[in-house]
Amino acid sequence: DSWGIFTFLCAALCNLPALPALNCSEELGAGQSIQQTYDLTRYLEHQLRTLAGTYLNYLGPPFNEPDFNPPRLARAERVPSATVDLDLWRGLTDNARLAANYRAYSRLLCYLRVLDGQVGTAELRHRLAHFCASLQGLVLSIGGVMSSLGYPLPAGPAGPPAPPGAPAAPNDFLKKMDDFWLLKELQTWLWRSAKDFNRLKKKVPPAVVTLRLEARGF
């Protein structure tokens, strides 16, 4: 009867952990790693929009004015530039693009940590520290994608020591200009990285969940 069937099923479920024959495993392959990295880049894009607005207001005019678009100074070349021709960028191998992303975010993270130690308000320091933690997660996530695809991490240190080796800005305006370009390049890197990982995840199949029945004593 139905009560007997229910009792049997309960007994079977209670004893299921004791049956080594059934083994469930999840293969966390490159597909899932790429998806997680893509999601993180989009999250960082959202974070940066708020952080950049707050930080530019902290810098004051003209940096917080919507139409402020200064030429890139020679000093700003210290910051890794994302202004590469899109066709040239897409022509690179997946390995080359991943390595470029890994190196760039490692360096950008060093510069951001310098900012974190220089700002004068506790709220902005808190936001910068939170963003730095998220960006560190992105660097590690990109490294995980490279490993899952069989690519080696870029040789040498991930980025320059903090503070960067270039001399400090000679005046307050140029220091603010450095900060402005840091945020501007970071926005461009995240925008392009999101597109990179969106394309890459279409090339790599998602993770597969498999059930294996191991014959032990049957």
pLDDT at 20: 35
pLDDT tens-digit readout, 27-54 = 457 888 999 999 999 999 999 999 999 9
pLDDT at 165: 45
pLDDT recorded at residue 196: 93
The pLDDT value recorded for residue 31 is: 86
The whole-number pLDDT of residue 168 equals 59
User: Average pLDDT for residues 179-193, to the nearest whole number?
Assistant: 92
Residues ≥6 apart with Cβ < 8 Å to 140: none
**pLDDT for the residue numbered 156:** 53
1-15, 65-79, 87-101, 156-170: range with lowest mean pLDDT? 1-15
pTM of the predicted model as reported, rounded to 2 decimal places:
0.75
- % of residues, the chain, pLDDT over 90: 42
Query: Phi-psi bin for 217: left (phi > 0), alpha (psi -120 to 50), beta?
Result: left
Give the model's pLDDT for residue 93.
Answer: 93
Are the C-beta atoms of residues 160 and 105 closer than 8 Å to each other?
Answer: no
How many angstroms separate the first and last alpha carbons of the chain? Answer: 29
Give the pLDDT score at 43: 95
When the pLDDT of each residue in the chain is averaged and rounded to a whole number, the result is 77
Q: What is the pLDDT of residues 95-106, one digit of tens each?
A: 999 999 999 999
CA-to-CA distance for 197 and 148, rounded, in angstroms?
Answer: 14
Please determine, for residue 179, whether its predicted confidence score (pLDDT) is greater than 70: yes
Q: Which domains does the chain have, with CATH numbers?
A: 28-161+170-203 (1.20.1250.10)
Give the Cα-Cα-Cα angle 48, 50, 55 (nearest 5 degrees). Answer: 85
Sequence-ordered list of residues with C-beta below 8 angstroms from that of 47, at least 6 positions apart, any chain: 130, 131, 134
Place of tokens 């995980």: 144
Residues 28 and 36: their CA atoms lie apart, in Å, by 11
At position 206, the amino acid (one-letter code) is P
State mean pLDDT over 142-151: 93
Which of 41-45, 68-72, 117-121 comes out lowest in average pLDDT?
A: 117-121
Instruction: Quote the pLDDT of residue 164.
Output: 46
C-alpha to C-alpha distance for 117 and 48, rounded to whole angstroms: 18
